[in-house]
Structure 1
Amino acid sequence: MTEHITEPRPPADAPVATPTAALSWRDGRLYRNAVPHRILSGAMHYFRVHPGLWRDRIRRVADLGLNTIDTYVAWNFHQPREGEPPSFDGWRDLERFIHMVGEEGLDVIVRPGPYICAEWSNGGLPSWLTAKDLTIRSSDPAFTSAVGDWFDELIPRLAALQACEGGPVVAVQVENEFGSYGDDHAYLRWSRAALTGRGIRELLFTADGPTELMLDGGTLSGTLAAATLGSNPDVARRLLADRRPDEPFLVAEFWNGWFDHWGDRHHVRGVESAVRTLRGIIADHGSVSIYMAHGGTSFGLWAGANETQGRLEPIVTSYDSDAPIAEDGRLTPKFFAMREALGAESSLRSPERLPVLPPARLPLVHRADLLPALAAVRARTTVSPRPATFEQLGLDAGMVRHIAHPRIPAGEHRLVFTDVRDRALVFVDGALLGVVDPNSPELTVSGAGGIVRLEVVVENLGRVNYGPGVGRAKGLLGPVLVDRRMVQGWQSTPVAIQEWSSVELSHALGAGPATTSAGFAAAELEVDTPQDTFLALPGSAHGFVWVNGFLLGRYWEIGPQVTLYCPAPLLRAGSNTVTVLELERLGETLELRDHPELGPPEEYVEEF
């Protein structure tokens, strides 16, 4: 029989005790509730995993021998439109995800940004915010005011889930790798105060690359300094120990794999190399978060981009990241090698791969040409002397359709796009003239002498998520010229495919007939029991795929990614509709494959 003891209630005027944080440190060692502790964490982003699979993936992370899951919080995922309250329902139910992690016996580290990088569109910052006249990631009052409003919604939810309140959250990160970006320490101090002032009592930490420059820019006195790295943990350990001898060694991101760009190769990290670095962190008495333990998928149009010497490098839809738990949840050889290196208990499970649909080939029925289909989906059109940008139209992702009616003299003339972000299909009188991008911004147009209908469909390939390019505008940012004369008088219409439902897709599909090689097509998939599958479009060039109205993401024949992962919860027993928007050349079939095809592998290890 258990004896229940009731604690005496303090008088009404007694001071309220401040909750004690679960994690603390002294003399270079980390403690959890005063007991020596090592954080063994794996990164998993709730926004990259279908909610129907959250628990399965959380359990697989636990089966890796880890005791913690860390996740970023993507502001733009919760509040894509200005003036609307943030959503915390459904796929965006962060609190449910955190509770679920706790139910599986794991701690949680939350990294609320507001900037998160993460190869996520705009680094998690809403495009409606970065379009404003303000300086992001700085102590600019216009920026901190907007972040404060967002944190007013977010942080109290996290505060209620802290370990000191009986929840699983044991640590919260201040900003994100700020030392790779700037040195506005007033902003960093504001960021820390924005967390504590809204109720965060658990361990706070910063995370930066292990160089003097980055640590100078991104660390704060009185706040634990963590490192992010892919190799040489001993170098990072010595650097941090020299600067902060009393602090425990924490690797907030151990890059055991890497992401991929369109047109590049598929980056992998060898098992032996990854495990050797992990063992080095452990040998240095370090705590670690494996980035990623499970990468998942940047569904829809949420994949970000990098920018190198002015050249955009858009990131693929898959965020597999060569993680120990693959995009579809498979346990890889890296999983078992890492689990052994972590000294995990032999009693841990090794869950089987989830069932996969058998391979199949389905005919693609071309239903409608591109331009009539886009015109069939109603949206507000803006008329202006120059083409309206994505930001001027309030459009975060997708495409913009521009129409003008210039007079083209007889003969051949240069059609020049002075600043196109990122890629545009150009049509003259309904016929495709060509494709322009920043590297190939000119086409030759032949005129018979008269007015033509010039249509330009501009595609946003992904917003930059790292470096000074975060927040760059999208669209036709400079004038369009016929030779040296500007084309003026434009109608600009947003094509917000990320927001389309089955209603908009049905309008597009019904805008036939189909007479060209680009446009909308559909295939019907009959399923007895919903199971995972991988979709491929042999012969198709570049476009987007929906399953039952859900936008899986972008495909592109330049690779490296070939297949799009379709998790079982997106399918239903019976008939399923797969819709394809092909921008250039539609193939004849849609293929279901029983394994991912992410492209030719290339070993990549990030080093400072």
Structure 2
Amino acid sequence: MTQLSWEGQQMLLNGEPFRIISGAMHYWRVVPEYWEDRLRKIKAMGCNTVETYIAWNVHEPKEGQFNFKGMADVSRFVALAKEVGLYVIVRPASYICAEWEFGGFPAWLLNEEMELRCNDPRYLSKVEAYYDQLIPELTPHLITNGGPIIAMQIENEYGSYGNDKAYLQASKQMLEERGVDVLLFTSDGPQDDMLQGGMTEGVWATVNFGSRANDAFDKLLEYQPDAPLMCMEFWNGWFDHWHEEHHTRSAQSAAESLDEILARGASVNFYMVHGGTNFGFMNGANHGERFEPTVTSYDYDAAISECGDITPKFHAFRDVIGKYTTLSEEPIPANLPKAAYGAVDVKRSVKLFDTLAAISEEHQSVTPEPMEAYGQAFGFTMYSTTITGPRPESHLKIQDVHDRALVFLDKKFIGVVERWNPTSIPVVIPEGGAALDILVENMGRVNYGPQLIDRKGITHGVRLNGQFQFHWTVRTMPLEDIAQVAFDQASSELTGPQPAFYEAELNIDGEPQDTFLYLDGWKKGVVFINGFNLGRYWEVGPQKSLYVPAPILKSGRNEIVVFELHEQGEALRFEDVPEL
């Protein structure tokens, strides 16, 4: 039987010496039309394997409703990797981190009474129901069945989270019971507590790091002396949060660390070799001292850029790999063409309050609850109530907003409350009372660490002068169907800064090409092109452009809808180079 195995620290494939040289690429961060282009470039760099996480929330966005089509067609992705000539490592664990929304968990888990990532039977039963649908998509592609999948991960960096060995064994058993008979592994940081918490009996342990390879491998050998060495996540770049500088790592520095890994005789998986994009509302967030949402781009300063371009880091890595193995003689695929389509003007607009009824679902609620309580996973939620007056010199406090709220009094914008800056807002309520509306944006759930449980919206209530306010109308706005926006309902009664939808069109002659959208002067919001959610923009940076892959465009008229939270900027501008 063809299978990965080892003798001492020598890895074997079908009994012959083998070294994994792998690159991470997530199929759900790349439009399917570009999967083959990216896979061929990964192979051309010198990789013999591609690695991918599997995001539970991509495949079961609503409980019991499964999706394995389009960007979620993992079976097609794996089959395509085999056609290109790559083996595949799959990381299907229920939790993946990956700077992805909620670490891959579906938001509906937050409505269940259970503990995540432990041996809670209620949690395991949800994972099992998911695996019952997912694993049959993968088992035909196992190397033991003639496919390219050589290994699977049972859990992800668990030693950074917990120490439940029964849970790790249950995770192993769930895969094995569903016919997974390839090599199973864990991956953790190369520290004592992480390895002690993350390793489990009968499962190969690997380590994750960005530098000091020999130190990391020496630590792993203390715990696993008679197995091959592998860096499962070689962090050769990094991701960005809003409000930060764009992260880069020099090609020379990363190549030197790669050389240290390969000189040790170890296997490696580049994290990332091609990052892709956090399309839609699917970016994750970190929470250390404060909440830090991840930007739309997941370029990662990787060897293959967000838009699929070959970078200097690609060539530096290829040169190092060439010292240790024979490189493919196939030519390196060319970069795809890019187009600068120029500027397009807004044709029409409608303020949010004028189209709110058309794009939302209404709920009555005694207290303002998190969006998950109303069956909402992503997007925006409007909380509305009436405050009696008069109340001069009052202060409004949103108790624990997740994540960013715009506050309106009688539909006039009066302030912003942010999770990382939870200020109160001074208000004056006239004698006749006033309508209070609070629009809350879910900016991405925490994907790593002890703050993983991250419900969105207003999580603890709204207080005026210390007094909780009750009886709310709540309107959920997942923005799943942008065609519902009622541009014909536009009115001129609302003044001042207002959230609004803006429509423009881009006309393309001939075959569309990749391009990059700039929103000069716009403040914060989301962009849709032909109904496809490109992701978020925000003037605070670092990201200044949104990647627009050609397959979401079409020859002729392309509809652009911008949901801007504050005020309209300049004409939309399409250029042929990004600014990250």
TM-score range, shorter chain: over 0.9
1:195-234 → structure 2 map (5 Å cutoff)? 195-234=175-214
Q: Is the 8 A contact 1:367 1:513 kept in 2?
A: no
Match of 2:408 in 1: 427
Q: How does 1:105-254 map to 2 (within 5 A)?
A: 105-254=85-234
Q: Which runs of 5+ in 2 are unaligned?
A: none
**8 Å CA contact retained: 1:307, 1:469:** yes
Q: Name the CA distance, whole Å, in 2 between partners of 1:478 and 1:372.
A: 28
In 2, the alpha carbon distance for the partners of 1:551 and 1:269 equals 29
How far the C-alpha of 1:478 sits from its partner, in A, is: 1.5
| Aligned partners of 1:418 and 1:441 also within 8 Å | no
1:452 to 434, 449, 456: 434
Which deviates further from its counterpart, 201-210 or 340-349? Answer: 340-349
Q: Do the aligned residues in 1 keep the contact of 2:101 with 2:444 (CA within 8 Å)?
A: yes
In the aligned structure 2, how far is the partner of 1:276 from the partner of 1:566? 33
Partner of 1:563: 545
* Alpha-carbon distance between aligned partners in 1 of 2:188 and 2:430, rounded to the nearest angstrom: 60
Question: Which amino acid is the alignment partner of residue 576 of structure 1?
Answer: N
Counterpart Cα distance in 2 of 1:23 and 1:409: 74
SS in 1 for 2:24: strand
> Is 1:546 aligned with 2:525?
no
Say if 1:148 and 1:301 are closer, same or farther in 2 by CA, change over 3 A: same
Alignment of 1:354-369 (within 5 A): 354-369=336-351
Aligned equivalents of 2:382, 2:429: Cα separation in 1: 22
SS in 2 for 1:468: coil
Once the two structures are superposed, what CA deviation does each residue of 1:164-187 show, in whole Å capped at 9, x if it has no partner? 111111111111110010000000
SS in 2 for 1:564: strand
RMSD: 1.3
- Paired residue type of 1:512: A
Once the two structures are superposed, residues 513-552 of structure 1 have per-residue CA deviations (whole angstroms, 9 ceiling, x without a partner) of 3665431111111111210000010000000000011110
Q: What letter is aligned with 2:488?
A: G
Provide the rounded CA distance (Å) in 1 between the counterparts of 2:348 and 2:292. 31
Q: Indicate the SS of the match to 2:273.
A: strand
Corresponding position of 2:513: 531
Aligned mate of 1:256, from 229, 236, 239: 236
Counterpart for residue 317 of structure 2: 338
Query: Residues 4 and 182 of structure 2 are in contact (CA less than 8 Å); yes or no, is this contact kept in structure 1?
Result: yes
Q: 1: distance between equivalents of 2:355 and 2:295? A: 26
Quote the offset at 1:131 in angstroms. Answer: 2.9
Equivalent position of 1:411 in the other structure: 392
Structure 1 contact 179–218 (Cα < 8 Å) conserved: yes
Equivalent residue, structure 2, for 1:281: 261
State TM-score, norm by structure 1.
0.92
Aligned to 1:69: 50
Partner of 2:301: 322
Task: State the 1:251 CA deviation.
Answer: 0.8
Alpha-carbon distance between aligned partners in 1 of 2:330 and 2:64, rounded to the nearest angstrom: 47
Q: Distance in 1 between matches of 2:329 and 2:120?
A: 53
1:485 aligns with 2:467: yes
Q: Aligned partners of 1:450, 1:419: CA distance in 2, in Å? A: 29
Aligned length: 572
User: For residue 480 of structure 1, what is the amino acid of its counterpart?
Assistant: V
Equivalent residue letter for 1:408 = G
CA distance, structure 2, for counterparts of residue 480 and residue 142 of structure 1: 32
SS of the equivalent of 1:191 reads helix
The DSSP-based 3-state class of the residue aligned with 2:372 is coil
Per the alignment, residue 301 of structure 1 pairs with 281
**Which residue of structure 2 lines up, in the alignment, with residue 589 of structure 1?**
571
What whole-Å deviation, never above 9, does each CA across 1:383-419 have from its counterpart, x for those lacking one?
A: 1221121110111110101110011324221011111
Larger mean CA deviation between 187-196 and 479-488 belongs to 479-488
Which piece of structure 1 moves more, 342-351 or 171-180?
A: 342-351
Q: Deviations over 1:498-517 (max 9, x none)?
A: x224x224x3x333136654
- TM superposition shift of 1:359: 4.6
1:227-268 Cα offsets, whole Å, 9 max, x none, are: 011111101111112221110001111000000001111111
Once residues 102 and 417 of structure 2 are traced to their aligned partners in structure 1, the CA distance between those partners, rounded to angstroms, is 23
CA distance in 1, matches of 2:92, 2:237: 23
Give the corresponding residue for 1:25: 6
Q: Equivalents in 2 of 1:76, 1:346: separation in Å?
A: 36
Residues 253 and 291, structure 1, Cα contact 8 Å, conserved in 2: yes
CA contact (8 A) 1:181 1:467 kept: yes
Secondary structure of the equivalent of 2:301?
Answer: coil
Moved over 4 A (4+): 514-517
- Whichever residue aligns with residue 183 of structure 1, its letter is N
Which residue number in structure 1 is paired with residue 367 of structure 2?
A: 386
**What is the SS of the residue equivalent to 1:481?**
strand
- 1:512 equivalent to 2:493? Answer no
Report the secondary structure of 1:194's partner residue: helix
Report if aligned partners of 1:304, 1:315 keep a CA contact under 8 Å in 2.
Answer: yes
Q: Distance in 2 between matches of 1:584 and 1:187?
A: 46
CA distance in 2, matches of 1:466, 1:511: 42
Secondary structure at the residue paired with 2:405?
A: strand
Aligned to 1:4: none
Determine helix, strand or coil for the equivalent of 2:507. Answer: strand
Look up the equivalent residue of 2:21 and give its one-letter code: L
Decide whether the 8 Å contact of 2:400 with 2:422 is kept in 1.
no
Amino acid at match of 1:390: M
